[in-house]
Structure 1
Amino acid sequence: MRSPRDCALESERHPQLPAGTDERVSGYGVMGQPFASGHVLGLRRWTASSVGEQFTSIWHRDPDDNWHFYESAQPEFACSRWFGHGVQESTVVDIDVTWEGSHLLRVTSPPLVDWTLTLASSPMTRVMSAVARPLPLAAWRSPALLRAMGTVASSTLGVGKVGMTGLTANGLPFDANPQRIWRVVDATAQIQGQDAGPPAPLPEQARLGDFWIPQHGVFAMGRVFIGA
């Protein structure tokens, strides 16, 4: 099985935007990583976008349930375009995404975030990736199938509720298509100079709109469709 680094670098070299009339992004990211301190981090590295150039976005929820987006593009061309109504602050910053090994990823935006993740596959992530990759586009756009896939992912991965279709924080319909997944088996982070502590699920699962943040870190290759 190809490593997450190989898949991510292939997406960087040959970004592919799926056909459609909705707004669309594709690439890779960390769907979410909660920490014992109550901080949550997420990464979206969209190497192709129908609304502008490729961009990177770090999602940060602090222990007081305030959301901050740190983005490499202006908010109207980044994740704030779809989820900004649930975010207290969006800031345009430089973000560096570096693969330090085949399964070791570091995400930095000094002095805001310095985040290192170790990824690994498991029998279940391998099965889910093998099932997901050959699905035709029509299947990926079926709300019923996406809801069923979310239920299966929730029960088999142990990450809490999984929402693969629903409404963004801005009230727009979305379909998320994770085509390859890996678990985050270790993570460390400095957030504004403070240690976020060890990875740990939150007492109450975080969400933005109908997108639920996994209670354990998940890295995915895939795409998202956002309707008007």
Structure 2
Amino acid sequence: MKSPRDNALESERRPVLPPGAEERVSGYGVMGQPFASGHVLGLRRWTASSVGDQFTSIWHRDPEGNWHFYESAQPEFACSRWFGHGVQESTVVDIDVAWEAADILRITSSGLIDWRLTLESSPMTRVMSSVGRVLPMAAWRSPVMLKTMGAVASSTLGVGKVTMTGLTANGLPFDANPRQIWRVVDASATIDGHDIGPPAPLREQARLGDFWIPQRGIFAMGRVFVGTP
């Protein structure tokens, strides 16, 4: 099994946009990482997009529950296009995604965010990744299958509720296909120069629309389909 860095770099070199009539993105990211301070961070690095150029988004929720998206593209061509109605502010910034080792990822936006993660596989993530790599497209587009996979992930990964299909914050139907996954086993971050503390589950699991943020960090290679109401 390739390392997360090898998979991510392959996605950068050879981005693949899945077929479909809906809006589509593919690439990699961190589905979500909560911290003991109440902050939550997420990363979306979409190396292929049907609505424009590739882009990067950092999702940030503060302890008061306010969401802020930092995006490398204008909001109408980035994650705000689908989730902006649940976000208090979107800011266009430069974002750097760099691999310090095969399993260490660092995401920075000068003066705003400096986030470092260590990734690791587990017996369950290896099983789910093995299945995800060979599952046919028809299964990945089946609401029944996606709900079943979400329920299995919820009960086996220890990350709280997992949803792979539902509505975005803008009321648009989505299907998420995390085809390969790894656990985040260590994370540290500063926001506006302030350390936000160690990673830890939240008292109440965060979500945007029907997408629930994992209670423990998960890194994924995958794709998302977004339809119209």
Q: Which deviations, in whole Å up to 9, do the C-alpha atoms of 1:111-135 show, x marking residues without a partner?
A: 1100000000000000000011111
| SS in structure 2 at match of 1:9 | helix
Alignment deviations for residues 171-212 of structure 1 (CA, whole Å, 9 cap, x no partner) = 000000000000000000001111110000000000000000
Distance (whole Å) between structure 2 residues aligned to residue 112 and residue 205 of structure 1: 25
Match in the other structure for 2:38: 38
Runs of 4+ displaced beyond 3 Å: none
- CA distance in 1 between counterparts of 2:56 and 2:206 reads 21
Aligned: 1:183 with 2:180: no
One-letter amino acid of the counterpart of residue 221, structure 1:
M
Distance 1:161 1:18 in 2: 26
* Residues matched between the structures, number: 228
Q: Does 2:153 correspond to 1:165?
A: no
Q: 5+ unaligned residues in a row in structure 1: which ranges?
A: none
User: Secondary structure, in 3 states, of the residue corresponding to 1:133?
Assistant: helix
Match of 1:138 in 2: 138
Normalised by the length of structure 1, the TM-score is: 1.00
- Farther-moved stretch of structure 1 (133-142 vs 58-67): 133-142
Using the alignment, how far apart are the partners of 1:195 and 1:225 within structure 2? 35
Alignment of 1:219 with 2:219, yes or no, is yes
> RMSD of aligned C-alpha atoms?
0.3
User: Distance in 1 between the 2:152 and 2:225 partners?
Assistant: 21
Match of 1:124 in 2: 124
1:10-89 superposed matches below 5 A? 10-89=10-89
| Contiguous gaps of at least 5 residues in structure 2 | none
Q: Distance in 2 between matches of 1:132 and 1:78?
A: 25
| CA–CA distance in structure 1, aligned partners of residues 34 and 111 of structure 2 | 20
Q: TM-score, normalised by structure 2?
A: 0.99
Give, in whole Å, the separation in 2 of the partners of 1:207 and 1:112.
23
Partner-residue secondary structure (3-state), 1:82? helix
What corresponds to 1:8 in structure 2?
Answer: 8
Distance 1:107 1:170 in 2: 26
Q: CA deviation at 1:216?
A: 0.1
CA distance in structure 2 between the aligned counterparts of 1:105 and 1:112, rounded to whole angstroms? 17
Distance 1:197 1:175 in 2: 32
Please say if 1:112 is aligned against 2:112. Answer: yes
2:148 and 2:192 map into 1 onto residues whose CA distance is 38
The secondary structure found in structure 1 opposite 2:8 is helix
